[in-house]
Amino acid sequence: MLNFTLRQLQVFEKVAGHLNYSRAAKELFLSQPAVSMQIKQLEGHIGLPLFEQMGKKIFLTEAGRELFHYSRSIAQQLAEMEALFDEMKGLEQGKLTISVVNTANYFTPQLLAKFCQLHPNINIILQVANRDAVLQQLADNSTDLAIMGQPPDGMDISAESFLDNPLVVIAAPGHPLAKLKRVKFAQLAKENFLSRERGSGTRSAMERIFAEHQVQPHISMEMETNEAIKQAVQAGMGLGILSLHSIELELETRRLAMPNVEHFPLLRHWFVAHRSNKRLSSAALAFKKFLLTEAKNIMATRSPVATQP
């Protein structure tokens, strides 16, 4: 009969998820020796090694991979049990983990601020990452709700749109295209583009619209943040394609221009998503309802974007 503790299983799950003792220790607020001791005790109870080390890296053994599968299932059940107890206590004591893609973080804090005014005692954990990482968090059941662009096909995810997400072409104010009344889409083939990394929702949308119009974009540089792209575009290094939500301040202060390009803005939507089979807590249900019913009105009160000459 296996005789390990729940704490040992929790420690194992963190180490297996990161494949790094130091990162797991930091997340668990433990010392690295304490984490190593818990893993050794767990291996002793099971009678099999769970990790193997090659150089400076550790990898899961076959037994470790099997245990990781079961540990995640157990963690999901424990989270659902905790959510049930929170629900019994009432909304005011709930906990909510939200994952958002990088671009959504330009407006999510404003929505969260309003939600927290309505429910001040709900403990919210906000995780910001690129699209691939957010999808992995959904797959791992390490988040309650996710805010993202177009949900993927082939995943067991329930998603509903709650806000428009227009993508626009941006340029330095002195760029020749910024001075034209109308820019043909084909003209973009001659321009250098500064693009988000592969795995970003904005990058995927950019590639789709260029493919639809049979134009090959010249991507001169990839960057992992919207801020880096905005700075590079301002410096005259090329054009960019970003969500209008991420450039409102720069348009208002005229540090960036928005050329009037054919087929833009590219209208997409923001979605709130979760695992289809996930039992949402009262806090998660309340936030989802809040997004679906209030987000558009709240965002409409933001400062209007300055019109471009």
Indicate if the pLDDT at residue 58 is higher than 80.
yes
| Residue range(s) defining the domain that contains residue 64 | 6-74
How many other CB atoms sit within 10 Å of the CB of residue 171?
24
**What would the two tokens of residue 6 be?**
């729940």
Considering the domain boundaries, does residue 1 fall inside one?
A: no
Q: Give tens-digit pLDDT for 151-203.
A: 888 788 999 999 999 999 999 999 999 999 999 999 999 999 999 888 788 88
Q: Half-sphere exposure (CA, 13 Å, Cβ side) for 95?
A: 12
Give yes or no: residues 232 and 176 share one domain.
yes
For range 278-302, the mean pLDDT: 88
Q: What is the pLDDT of residue 186?
A: 92
State the Cα–Cα distance between residues 62 and 68, nearest whole angstrom: 10
Give yes or no: residues 262 and 274 share one domain.
no
Give yes or no: residues 146 and 274 share one domain.
yes
Indicate if the pLDDT at residue 205 is higher than 70.
yes
**What would the two tokens of residue 110 be?**
């404003």
Q: Give tens-digit pLDDT for 241-264.
A: 999 989 989 999 999 999 999 999
Considering the domain boundaries, does residue 190 fall inside one?
A: yes
Indicate if the pLDDT at residue 296 is higher than 80.
yes
Give yes or no: residues 192 and 245 share one domain.
yes
Give yes or no: residues 173 and 252 share one domain.
yes
Which range has the worst mean pLDDT, 45-59, 87-101, 136-150, 293-307?
A: 293-307
For range 4-23, the mean pLDDT: 91
Number of domains in the chain: 3
Considering the domain boundaries, does residue 83 fall inside one?
A: no
Indicate if the pLDDT at residue 150 is higher than 90.
no
Residue 37's CATH number = 1.10.10.10
Q: What is the pLDDT of residue 88?
A: 63
Considering the domain boundaries, does residue 307 fall inside one?
A: no
Considering the domain boundaries, does residue 308 fall inside one?
A: no
Residue 119's CATH number = 3.40.190.10
Give yes or no: residues 52 and 109 share one domain.
no
Label the pairing between strands 145-148 and 95-101: parallel
Give yes or no: residues 152 and 276 share one domain.
yes
Q: Give tens-digit pLDDT for 67-113.
A: 998 888 888 788 778 777 766 666 556 789 999 998 899 999 999 99
Give the C-alpha distances (Å, rounded to integers) separating 203 from 171, 211, 225, 228, 284: 17, 12, 11, 14, 29
Indicate if the pLDDT at residue 135 is higher than 60.
yes
Q: What is the pLDDT of residue 37?
A: 93
Give yes or no: residues 113 and 55 share one domain.
no
For range 7-25, the mean pLDDT: 91
Q: What is the pLDDT of residue 306?
A: 40
Residue 256's CATH number = 3.40.190.290
1 — pLDDT class (breaks 50, 70, 90) = low
Give yes or no: residues 28 and 44 share one domain.
yes
Indicate if the pLDDT at residue 303 is higher than 60.
no
Give yes or no: residues 98 and 232 share one domain.
no
Give the residue among 182, 196, 168, 305 at the shortest CA–CA distance from 250: 305
Considering the domain boundaries, does residue 263 fall inside one?
A: yes
307 — pLDDT class (breaks 50, 70, 90) = very low
Considering the domain boundaries, does residue 85 fall inside one?
A: no
Q: What is the pLDDT of residue 309?
A: 40
Q: What is the pLDDT of residue 4?
A: 85
pTM: 0.66
Give yes or no: residues 257 and 289 share one domain.
no
DSSP string, 39-71: HHHHHHHHTS--EEEETTEEEE-HHHHHHHHHH
Considering the domain boundaries, does residue 57 fall inside one?
A: yes
Q: Give tens-digit pLDDT for 215-247.
A: 999 999 999 889 999 999 999 999 999 999 899
Q: What is the pLDDT of residue 271?
A: 96
Give yes or no: residues 151 and 63 share one domain.
no
Which range has the worst mean pLDDT, 22-31, 34-43, 196-205, 207-216?
A: 196-205
Element (H, E) at 302: none
State the Cα–Cα distance between residues 182 and 308, nearest whole angstrom: 12
